[in-house]
Amino acid sequence: MMPRVSSGSIRLRLTTQLVVVAAVLSIVFVYSVWSVGKNTAETTQDKVLSAAAASIADALRTERGELVVDIPYSTFSMLEAISDDRIFYRIIVNGTTVTGYEDLPADPSLVDSRVPHFSNNVFVGEDVRTVAVKRSFSALGVPVDVVVFVAQTRAGYTRIASDVLSVAAWVGSGFFLFAIVLCLVASQSALRPLREVARAVERRGPEDLRPMRQLTPVEIAPLVSALNGFISRLESSLIRAEEFIADAAHCLRTPLAMIRTNAEIALRTTRSTPSRQALREILKAADESSRSTGQLLDHATVTFRSDNMKVERVDVVSLVADTIDRFEPVAEMKGIKLLSTPGRTTVDCRADPVLLRSALGNIIDNAIKYSPADSVIRVSTDLPLDRIRISVCDQGRGFGEKSCEMLTGRFTRGDNVEDIIGSGLGLTIVAKVVDSHQGELCIASNPEGAGTCVSIILPH
């Protein structure tokens, strides 16, 4: 089942946040480079302008009480060397323009005598940068204030500023693109442990309830430990269920034994035919429930044990012989001969002997149950294609029309066995054992005529 996806993707969120941070950083970078460039350009222009103004101011002198202005044209050529900007000047003496552009915006009152004063203005439809330098003289005992204004259009400055901006923008967007790639990689790798945990959970078999042991980053550790907690709760509830089945089977068995024994006693002592008939029915029912009880318990045990297999080296031949010994008295009661086809003396196999014995026991038990009296059941062990095959062939009635998959389902029985007591769990148990050993269960008609051959095929 897919979980409900409601809170979006962590990766998308992480990537978005990282990208936003990268964008902010790129913008800050572009802006600061641009403003530093602009400042540098402005400062350069200001320095040149003030040097020009100062050289004009320095050339001022008084000759016999007259102020002489000598414009050093070399100054302008110096300014022109830097850029193609046009240069304007205006000299104001005691509030009266004495030379230069009379309409160049100028306010001598703002100008201090010590430091140059800068301002931005508009002149003849162009932005200009203006510097003002003030000098004070004394001509014939009269104080004279001279203010020199030098202005320059700002095309050079604007060009430098825009050049800087475009370089900064290129570098900034390059950085931004690179950052996006890094964000994607980072979010991918940050989420990798999460995907690994998911894969590890996915890879598990349906009955693998061991806790997860792989190393995980600190952030995922709570998730993994919550998962482990859940797994162990699940396992303990499974174990509880199995114990419950075992206890239930145990609690049922003793009363069933009471019913069975007393019914047998009654059957031996009564002479009334209807009572005998009733007692036989009671015995049959008791047998039926005791069989189901036993197989439920076996099923629970086999299920539990297939998850915790104790695999060891098992000699299949002697295991088969032991199981035959065990079932011989029961077979004999029906006059059935259990024959073991002589073959090899030992066949080694890696298996859980308890599970294997239980599977074989169930097959032989089935065979005895469905075989007619005075028939033969053959148990053989051979090694076809480097695998181990244990076959139990009877002369019974076969399994009818049902397929192998159907017969190994829980509580399913062949469709021709209504008159025989059975629970429908026997082959389920066998299939489970075979499955946990990566083996194969094969149900076929007996090649020698009537009957059935049930084979367990195990890897060598």
Partner 1 sequence: MRFLLVEDNKRLSKAVATRLELDGHVVDDVSDIDTAETMLGVAEYDMILLDLMLPDGSGSDFLRSLRSKDNGTPVIVITARTELTDRVDTLDLGADDFLVKPFAFPELQARCRAVLRRKRGRSVNVAKLGNVAFDILDGTLTVNGQVVTLRNQELRLFEILFCAPQRIHSKAHLVDRLFSFGDSGSENAVEVYIARLRKKLRGSDLRLETLRGRGYRLSSNS
C-alpha to C-alpha distance for 22 and 418, rounded to whole angstroms: 77
Residue 372 DSSP symbol: P
In sequence order, the 6+-apart residues with CB closer than 8 A to the CB of 164 are 33, 34, 36, 37, 38, 41
Site pattern 372..391 for partner 1 (x: CB under 8 A) = -x------------------
Is 294 a binding residue for partner 1 by CB under 8 A? The answer is yes
Kindly give the pairing relationship between strand 337-340 and strand 376-382. Answer: parallel
Is 280 a binding residue for partner 1 by CB under 8 A? The answer is yes
What residues pair up with 411 in beta bridges, in sequence order? none
C-alpha to C-alpha distance for 382 and 457, rounded to whole angstroms: 10
Q: Provide, rounded to whole angstroms, the least separation between the CB of residue 415 and partner 1.
A: 19
Is residue 22 within 8 Å of residue 177, measured between CB atoms? no
Q: Provide, rounded to whole angstroms, the least separation between the CB of residue 408 and partner 1.
A: 19
Q: Provide, rounded to whole angstroms, the least separation between the CB of residue 319 and partner 1.
A: 11
Site pattern 400..419 for partner 1 (x: CB under 8 A) = -------------------x
- Return the number of the residue (203 or 268) whose C-beta is nearest partner 1: 268
- Return the number of the residue (208 or 332) whose C-beta is nearest partner 1: 332
Is 254 a binding residue for partner 1 by CB under 8 A? The answer is yes
Given candidates 261, 341, 403, 445, which one binds partner 1 under the rule CB under 8 A? Answer: 261
AA identity, residue 183: C
- Return the number of the residue (184 or 420) whose C-beta is nearest partner 1: 420
Task: Report the half-sphere exposure of 141 (CA within 13 A, side-chain side).
Answer: 0
Is 286 a binding residue for partner 1 by CB under 8 A? The answer is yes
Nearest to 430 by CA among 419, 441, 422: 441
Is 371 a binding residue for partner 1 by CB under 8 A? The answer is no
C-alpha to C-alpha distance for 26 and 28, rounded to whole angstroms: 5
| Listed ranges 61-69, 106-114, 152-160, 286-294: which one lies at the site for partner 1 (CB under 8 A) | 286-294
CB atoms within 10 A of CB 251: 11
Is 240 a binding residue for partner 1 by CB under 8 A? The answer is no
Kindly give the pairing relationship between strand 96-100 and strand 87-93. Answer: antiparallel
Instruction: Give me the residues that bind partner 1 (CB under 8 A), please.
Output: 246, 249-250, 253-254, 256-262, 264-265, 267-269, 273, 276, 280, 283-284, 286-287, 290, 294, 297-298, 301-302, 305, 326, 328-330, 332-335, 353-355, 357-358, 369, 373, 419-421
